[in-house]
Amino acid sequence: MARKIKVALLSKACVTGVYRSKLDEIINHSDVNLTVIVPPEWRDERGILPFEATDTTGYDILVEPIAFNGSYHFHFYPRLRRRLFEIDPDVLHIDEEPYNLATGHAIWAARGHRCKTLFFSWQNINKHYPWPFSAMESSVMHHVDAAIFGTRSASKVFEDKGYRGVSKVIPQFGVDTEVYRMRTNAKQMGSGFNIGFVGRLVHEKGVDILIRVLTRMPKDVRLNVYGSGPELAALRDLTESLQIQDRVLIAPWMSSDKIPALLHTFDVLVLPSRSTPGWKEQFGRVLIEAMASGVPVIGSSCGEIPHVIGDAGFVFQENDLFALEEALMLLYSDISLRSELGQKGRKRVLTHFTQASVASRTVDLYRSLVGIS
């Protein structure tokens, strides 16, 4: 019997239950023994995201205290070194950017163990960070055994930074296509048209563009915004100033288990992100969730969005209100086009973005790190 690869996965993202379907796919590979380390909660501009308990079979979850919770750059797990002695992994998979203290601390904690280490990055802009982040990034790139990049553009950034180690391009998470399913009931013309947005309410997500475009569309078009963040008050003020508050719903962030049903209430999902000097869209996970659900998608040209959508939806030039209006009106007036793009989206996810595919490629990397073909 072939020996099992013991993997410790450090991931604050896995506080969210739906993301852990990737873990079920990882342990479907019989040569992997998996332990996942997560914080009891994560805090960001959406508020407090508590650990979502779900039934787990086949792997262990350790809920570990986290220091500086809510600080993207400075959080870390104080007891990690002790945990690694207990787990004794072959591979420590650090699901964090290399310039974060959590990653640098985990690489340090792994010293003295025989385990291989790897980090994950979405970083798609070649940024030069101030000390101590620059020092942490340099140290991690020097000491780590491998890296996973969410996109080819992220891989190119680290190539330019001088990283020459083992690397693979694999999205952080795919979609569980048993959870995100095609809707069974077709919507009829004349029953209104619902535009959806799910995400952070921050300037770079471009929700204000969606609100403004609504003033140019027929009266039976509604906008449904689900999320939270620092732009919440400004967005509500904008709807009132445009006198369309009766056509706009701005609702709080939903737990991950409610998102699949929510997506089925949309006729189209829009991600109108805009680039800033320090940010561009790294992936846009809600796009593949909507595509898996058979919901047509429209996205801006920001960052990775066009590569995620491919030919399964519409892409408009970021900040171009008129181009967004044109794409929305095409879908508003043509229900067969909605169905066609919904089917294309589902097919694209099944080909490129399933949790099973992401897990399989990740396990292949684990095997290569420990010398198993």
3-state secondary structure 59-79: CEEEECCCECCCCCCCCECCC
In this predicted structure, what is the pLDDT of residue 44? 78
Task: Give the SS3 label for residue 271.
Answer: strand
Same domain assignment for residues 99 and 219:
no
Domain match, 326 and 358 both: no
Say what the pLDDT of residue 361 is: 94
> Is the separation of the CB atoms in 260 and 231 below 8 Å?
no
Number of compact structural domains in the chain: 2
The Cα–Cα gap between 32 and 192 comes to: 49
The pLDDT value recorded for residue 187 is 54
| CA pair distance 297, 267, nearest whole angstrom | 9
Q: Return the sign of the alpha-carbon dihedral for residues 296, 298, 304, 307.
A: positive
Q: What is the DSSP string of 278-312?
A: TB--S--HHHHHHHHTT--EEEESSTTHHHHHTTS
Q: What's the pLDDT at 18? A: 77
* Whether 77 contacts 10, CB under 8 Å: yes
Residues 139 and 224 in one domain: no
Q: Are residues 249 and 289 in the same domain?
A: yes
Residues 209, 291 within the same domain: yes
Residue 161 lies in a domain: yes
Report CA Rg, the chain: 21
Q: Tell me how far apart the alpha carbons of residues 77 and 103 are, in angstroms, rounded to a whole number.
A: 10
Bridge partners of 91? 7, 116
Q: For residues 201 and 233, what is the distance between their CA atoms, to the nearest angstrom?
A: 10
- Examine the domain organization and report whether 21 and 168 are in the same domain: yes
Report if residue 188 sits inside a domain.
no
What is the CATH number for 260? 3.40.50.2000
**What residues form DSSP beta bridges with 223?**
195, 248
Q: Does residue 235 share a domain with residue 170?
A: no
Q: What pLDDT, on the 0 to 100 scale, is given for residue 373?
A: 66
Both 288 and 360 in one domain: the answer is no
pLDDT of residue 188: 44
367: tokens are 């095997």
**The pair of three-digit structure tokens given for residue 362, joined into one six-digit string:** 């990740």
Q: Are residues 332 and 358 in the same domain?
A: no
Per-residue pLDDT at 49: 83
232 and 318 fall within a common domain: yes
Mean pLDDT by 10 residues, the chain (373 residues): 86 87 92 96 81 83 94 94 95 96 95 91 90 92 95 92 94 90 64 92 96 96 95 97 96 88 96 94 94 97 95 97 98 96 96 93 96 79
Q: Considering the domain boundaries, does residue 186 fall inside one?
A: no
Q: Are residues 168 and 198 in the same domain?
A: no
**Domain that residue 136 falls in:** 5-174+354-369
Q: Which amino acid is at 331?
A: L
Tell me whether residue 180 is in a domain: no
Q: Is the bond preceding 132 in cis, omega lying within 30 degrees of 0?
A: yes
Reference 89, options 76, 100, 80, 99; nearest CA is 80
In angstroms, rounded to a whole number, what is the distance separating the alpha carbons of residues 299 and 317?
A: 9
Q: Are residues 363 and 335 part of one domain?
A: no
